[in-house]
Amino acid sequence: MKNNILNLTSSCLIKATLCLFLVAVTGCKQETEENSLAFSKITTDYKVNPTAIENEKPQFSWVVQTEGHNKSQSAYHIMVATSKEKLGDATAAVWDTKKVESEQSAFVDYAGNALEPLQTYFWKVKIWDEKGNPSAWSPVQQFTMGLMDENNWGQSKWITLNKDTRKSPHRFRDYKTGKMNAPLPVEGFAASYFRKETKIDKEVVSAQAYICGLGYYELYLNGNKVGDHVLDPAPSNYDKQAYYVNYDITEQIKSGDNAFGIIMGNGFYGQNISWKNDPESEKDLAYGAPTVKLMVKMTYADGSQEDFFTDGTWKEATGPIVFNNIYGGDTYDARYEINGWNTVGYNDQSWGSPKVASPKLNKISAQQIPPIKKLRELEPQKVFKGADGEWIVDFGQNIAGWVKLQVQEAEGQLVEVIATEALRTDGSDIFQGSTGGGANGMPQIYRYICKGDGTESWEPKFSYHGFRYAKVKGVSTKPDGQMIKAVLVATDIGKTGRFTTSDELLNQMHSISKWTIEDNLHGIPEDCPAREKCGWLGDAHAFAEYALYNYDMYDFYKKYMEDIRTQMRPTKGHNDPDIKFQVPTMIAPGKRTSTYAKIDWGVATMYLPWYNYLYYGDDTIIEEYYDEMKNLTQFYLNFKGENGIMQDGMGDWCPPLWDRRKNPGAMETDPIISANAYFYDVLGIMERFAQMNNDPVFEAEMKAEKEALLAAFNREYLKPKPGTEHQWYLSQTATVQALQFGMVPEADIETVVNGLVHDIVEVKGGHHATGIHGNRYIYTVLAKHGKADLAHEILTTPEFPSQAYQIKSGFTTWPERQFIWEEMEGPTNSLNHPMHSGFAAYFFEALGGLKPTAEHAGFKTFTVNPMAPSHITSNEISVDTPYGTIENNWTLKGNVFEMDLAVPFNSKALLPLTEKEKENLTINGENWQDISKLHSDGNYVSLGSGTYKIRYTK
């Protein structure tokens, strides 16, 4: 299956007309001599010079910068070889495409000889522009293959702690969920320390470490930590899929004696405490005790090779980390420190031998997503005493991570830090309503027991919390920036989008939306970093598009799709229980699974591949998961009732004042309605996926099911708005979804829009009544249908409910619930829920006007159609795409709209225009009179690469 590549040369008339226009409006001559094509970014599998890739058909992409307008690629030539020197010899290359006539510059599939495990390959590319002018060869790139097969781990063994020797009285914590009458003392699996020395007699020219931790690990060599990762590796369904990480340790290893050390923590693998007594969860939530496998492959100057690996000859001990739990936190008793344990010459005679383990595990793969790192440190913004006289530190921002301590106290002194997201409403003390452990059984607490020999510094290793405030107990002086800092800890996702506007309140919303997402990326898209740390599927697709505008999520969503696939369980059909389907649970990955994924949560299985394809243009994710998506679609079709509606749905989660126990009626949208609206959209996606996978039978089935559901949906739910001449779909959310997904009959669109507006303005007093399903689209839908000012109004009104109200209430991340906070003792539930960041895609798709097209995905072709409210006078966005950076900066003065647009090489922008806009449009100072010659329907102008100053009267 090949990418659907736009053919810009399909119409000579269009191209010729556009070229003549560009000469007129830019004053630039069409180059006739050598072209200045410069490669600005070159990637393999969308990464720069990656190591340990395991894709047997790596994909090559390149971004080119050049001067002028309407510049594109007409051909490419790629060479791949096992050394830089062999790149010049076509006979020695493992792949030589020769000159290929193609515009494809992103995700070109490797099609050469089979690639060997652990081999490094070198490659280069040259291209030809639209006139046949060649570039120079690109700088040489490289990629290294991973282990690729279980057999390539050689003699490396899994090892785990054989004997728990913890003696500290602080190794216990209280465990109590809201369903328990009294707490239980728990200690969990011990943090384990492993070490071994090895002697190297030759000169090392390469040393590569490969380590797979079941649970979190830290690797040390000669006393120093290897790499800057933390909380490694990413969580997964460990019994089905685990991840190893590769480190180049050539510079750290030395001739002579070397000492390796590993510390293992529980992470989500050894999770035998939290959720255990939650009756809605499985009882045994641990996969087992933390376990690790390491292999170091060394290549010497004489060409020989040698492996160093974990096995039963290593030594084990426990140490100062006397308790660690991903929810409860770490306890570090410094009196049990084992100084020098990971250095050469340490006396480990008292250490025991580890157990060689055989964990239940189906597959180990190289981790392709970025690692979790310490990204930022925050200083205290305010320090004060709480009602009980203990110090409270306010870091000014709700984050995910941990605290970093530097204290000087007596031996045995317990320093305790309680991490919370909020204060009581009166500000008198911390409030643990969202972090107190009622759900998972463990409040967020860090404990450090001093050794008493001067200034002591410490930060945790195997847990992270969601918090803004820290109550500090057991210190003799007032906390300050020297004593305590907050450390942001999250997956180090690259930032790709930028947004700023003249309305500072919207800029603040954008910042809060990004903070809320960044706090919830820890190898999976979480629901919150405090209470649950779970990958709820509905939450994941709710904020996916906003995340894709702002971050490099390419590998992240591919990894999460593997989590969803390995989470699938055999499930009986609803209407036909004799049929079994593979269905994900509401949560992935992990053993806290909840029920089967209801439609509006399970559609993440289709939406995430769709969004990844739409925003990057790589169709391999669709091919990879097509069977699973097809099967799940059939499962949901098995819920069809006599009225043609699927009788399943979770609901429009967390609308204003909603509490599923105390106030369930606040969810105005029937869960079946909102779920079926999503399912209609997904049926259209699956129709396209079937076409892309050459599956005409299923394509026809999807088309028929989509048409049938559309008729049933309108028959059942399109109703008159009481007391008006308008129509709607019985709630704001369902009406917004119907408009967003193209479900409203053409003749009824105006009355439906008016019905929505009436409910917002007249019934709700200028406020939304939407949860995550409706709030994702309501602002864009209103703007699209000529109600941009109303969209801005309901976003920015300071009264409850609105995003502005949340800001006025002091939140620095979006809370899970929409309550009137000043009426409560303190805010409950999570205060850091990224599902509520989804609305902020409006900043890019409506205010910035930027959307990729399905026909030519990955921003190969994109629309630019800003929908500006009158309150905003300027707006700037940029988005990094597989073709380069798109920039769109506009100003609005009265009714005069001016836009500075940058279109990357080898891509095209489409500008939809109204009849009025066509009449007075100028581009780069020249009138544009005859738009129809550039596009058959004359409704938009098409612009190739280059920079443009566009001006028209609205």
Question: HSE on the CB side for 763, CA within 13 Å?
Answer: 16
CB atoms within 10 A of CB 745: 13
Question: HSE on the CB side for 562, CA within 13 Å?
Answer: 23
Say whether the peptide bond before residue 354 is cis (omega within 30 degrees of 0): no
Give CA–CA dist 686/683, Å, rounded.
5
Q: Which of 532, 705, 845, 887 is catalytic?
A: 532
Compute CA distances 763 → 222, 570, 735, 769, whole Å.
69, 45, 15, 10
8 Å CB contact between 335 and 449: yes
8 Å CB contact between 859 and 9: no
Which token pair is 505?
């309140």
| Long-range residue pairs from 762-769, CB within 8 A, at least 24 positions apart, any chain | 764/732, 766/793, 766/794, 766/797, 767/656, 767/794, 767/797, 767/799, 767/800, 767/801, 767/802, 768/656, 768/732, 768/794, 768/801, 768/802, 769/655, 769/656, 769/668, 769/731, 769/732, 769/733, 769/801
Question: HSE on the CB side for 516, CA within 13 Å?
Answer: 32
Active site residue 532: yes
Give CA–CA dist 690/685, Å, rounded.
9
Give CA–CA dist 842/838, Å, rounded.
8
8 Å CB contact between 574 and 263: no
Q: Which of 526, 701, 793, 816 is catalytic?
A: 816
* Closest to 212 in 3D by CA, of 96, 112, 293: 293
Active site residue 816: yes
Give CA–CA dist 862/908, Å, rounded.
7
* Closest to 292 in 3D by CA, of 264, 270, 317: 264
Compute CA distances 234 → 58, 287, 425, 530, 804, whole Å.
22, 15, 37, 17, 35
Kindly give the pairing relationship between strand 926-927 and strand 256-265: unpaired
**Which amino acid, 723?**
G
Q: How many helices (H) and strands (E) does the chain have?
A: 19, 49
For residue 240, what are the contacts with CB-CB under 8 A and spacing of at least 6? 361, 362, 363, 566
Q: What DSSP string describes 562-599?
A: HHHHHH-EEEE-SS-TTSEEEE-BSB-SSS---SB--H
Q: What DSSP string describes 690-746?
A: HHHTT-HHHHHHHHHHHHHHHHHHHHHH-EE-TTSS-EE-SSHHHHHHHHHTT-S-G
8 Å CB contact between 534 and 268: no
Query: Which sequence positions are flagged as catalytic?
Result: 532, 816
